[in-house]
Amino acid sequence: MNRIGFIGLGIMGKPMAKNLLDAGYELTVFDLFKTPVDELVAMGAGRGESNADVAAQSDIVITMVPDSPQVKDAVLGKGGVLEGAKKGMILIDMSSINPLASQEVCAKVEEAGCCMIDAPVSGGEPKAIDGTLAVMVGGKAQVFEKVLPILNVMGGSVILCGDIGAGNTTKLVNQVIVASNIAILSEALVLGKKAGVKPEAMIDAIHTGLAGSAVMEAKAPMMMDRNFKPGFRIKLHIKDLNNALSTGHEVGASLPMTATVMGMMQWLKSEGLDGEDHSALVKYYETLAGANVRR
């Protein structure tokens, strides 16, 4: 069985790594924070002392870190994955980053005699915990086939979308759609509440119709319960929308709705709310209307 290294044990990475352990994989883990490493080691994982040390002990290395600079540092930097990698190692970057950054890192990885796919995920903490994430993959088909059993442990849907960078392009498309959905759900619920209709009654009436969505099912209850514990933080969605806008600029695609929602999220950041779940986007509309969608 392949020896797997896992770098990045945050809200998403820790449960993903736990699922690999539960599936019986030999796992070595590393994170800049000691607590999640200790937790995984107590479950049976090996402790990596650095990114390079994890790579030295692994046939396959998974990275799950915040953004492009962190991926480049973890893989290409001092003490990075490539310092410890053996020829033939496969890097699975499951971080959500700029597609051009994926291509840049992949080129360096291949120069070192290794392989790489980008495989960002969607579904938030609940789906990371139960192993049903949507995994969007970019890379060579033969590399994808080799690691598919591992990805299937963490994902309920694992799709090869194209060459390297296609996974992150698809993730950006996902994040644009999710952000826009949360925004319009917030706008509509505040409208109804301001007009005197109970939010839960509106959701009950419309959620099985054309307006229903996974976003409505997951985020409307959080809004109504005032539960903004982060499954996916606003600050991370800002990062994704920034990457989407940057990619749109690079390829010549206009993203006016994305830019509008980005402005809303930047306002939330200015109010100190960027550590909350992205369902807190409703607070932008509530502030404008002077009403909230509490049950």
Q: In angstroms, rounded to a whole number, what is the distance separating the alpha carbons of residues 60 and 268?
A: 39
CA angle, 160 as apex, 261 and 107 as ends, to 5°?
Answer: 85
3-state class of 90 per DSSP?
strand
Tell me which of 14, 18, 127, 171 is the catalytic residue: 171
Q: In angstroms, rounded to a whole number, what is the distance separating the alpha carbons of residues 149 and 263?
A: 40
H/E stretch holding 27: strand 26-30
Q: In angstroms, rounded to a whole number, what is the distance separating the alpha carbons of residues 56 and 83?
A: 8
Q: How far is CA 97 from CA 103, 203, 268, 275, 283, in A?
A: 11, 34, 22, 19, 27
Question: In the annotation, is 171 catalytic?
Answer: yes
**Contact (Cβ atoms closer than 8 angstroms) between residue 270 and residue 175:** no
Alpha helices (runs of H) in the chain, residue ranges in sequence order: 13-22, 34-42, 51-56, 68-76, 81-84, 99-111, 124-130, 141-154, 166-194, 199-206, 214-225, 234-251, 256-270, 282-289
Count CB neighbours of 251 within 10 A. 10
Which residues are tagged catalytic?
A: 171
